[in-house]
A = this chain, B = another copy of it.
Amino acid sequence: MAGLNRNRQRVQLDADSIVDAALRIAGAGESDALTVRRLGAELGADPTAIYRHFRDKDDLIRGALDRLIERALAQVDPQASWDDRLKALATAILEVFSAHPSVGSQAVVHSTGGPAEARTIEMVLGALMEAGLDDEDAVRFYAVLSSYVISLASAKCSALLAADAQERWIGFFPSLRQSSAPAAVRVRDRLEALRDRDVYEDGIRVIIDAVESRLPQSRVSD
């Protein structure tokens, strides 16, 4: 329908402009699926042209993901304390991913292999070591923290894509019966008041607290 491209002429493409177009489509308010054909239309080129720059669609998605990680990383103040850096990164990743759900939802499958990914690993490990963890604990908590962040952010994106009226990702309880689930029914109001983002940040806090309790000079703050 839109842009039938009469008198089309040869378009010159490159990897960066294709990734740009992919993020534009993925970022659309009304979540249009990210499709090879839609990408062609956005670029004003034949859909199959992208196969001259990426091996396949997954390869393109990897490139787009690395750019999203880069944007999230740019939101973190490198002067902040180690725990603030980690919290800021976690929040930024959820935000940036959620704004591009059809890219973010793929984050579980692919290691991007890109430069932003490497910088992120370095940043997280650096923060944990600066906190005072030894190598073994730093790696362990890097793994727990990053798998948490990536899996939850990606899950949120999948939920956004599916969104058939059902806005909620966590906190949707269609069929709780007093007879079989009395405790759940008793706290039903609290369950339904759960908000995705608060739960996510609770989880981050739990992990950061666990890091703190592993430190030599462990101090309890409230």
Contact = CB atoms under 8 A, between A and B. Distances in A.
Nearest to A144: B203
Nearest to A177: B118
A126 B180 CA distance: 12
A109 B158 contact: yes
A175 B154 CA distance: 22
Nearest to A210: B206
B180 A121 contact: no
Interface stretch (A3-11, A69-77, A186-194): A186-194
A88 to B, nearest CB: 19
Interface stretch (A21-29, A78-86, A131-139): A131-139
Interface string A110-134: 1101110111011001100100000
Interface string A86-105: 00000000000000000000
A183 interface: yes
Interface in A177-205: 177, 180-184, 186-187, 190-191, 194, 199-200, 202-203
Copies of this chain present in the complex amount to: 2
A181 B122 contact: yes
Contacts of A215: none
Given A118-B181, A139-B194, A152 B147 contact: yes
Interface stretch (A12-20, A33-41, A42-50, A165-173): A165-173
A6 to B, nearest CB: 38
17 contacts: A58-B162, A108-B154, A108-B155, A108-B158, A109-B158, A109-B162, A118-B184, A119-B180, A121-B184, A122-B184, A135-B187, A139-B187, A143-B194, A206-B206, A209-B210, A209-B213, A210-B210
Interface of A: 58, 108-111, 113-115, 117-119, 121-122, 125-126, 129, 135-136, 138-140, 142-144, 146-148, 150-152, 154-155, 158-159, 161-162, 166, 169-177, 180-184, 186-187, 190-191, 194, 199-200, 202-203, 206-207, 209-210, 213
Given A113-B174, A121-B184, 17 more contacts: A109-B161, A118-B176, A118-B184, A121-B181, A122-B183, A125-B183, A126-B183, A143-B202, A144-B199, A147-B199, A147-B200, A148-B152, A151-B151, A151-B152, A206-B206, A210-B210, A213-B213
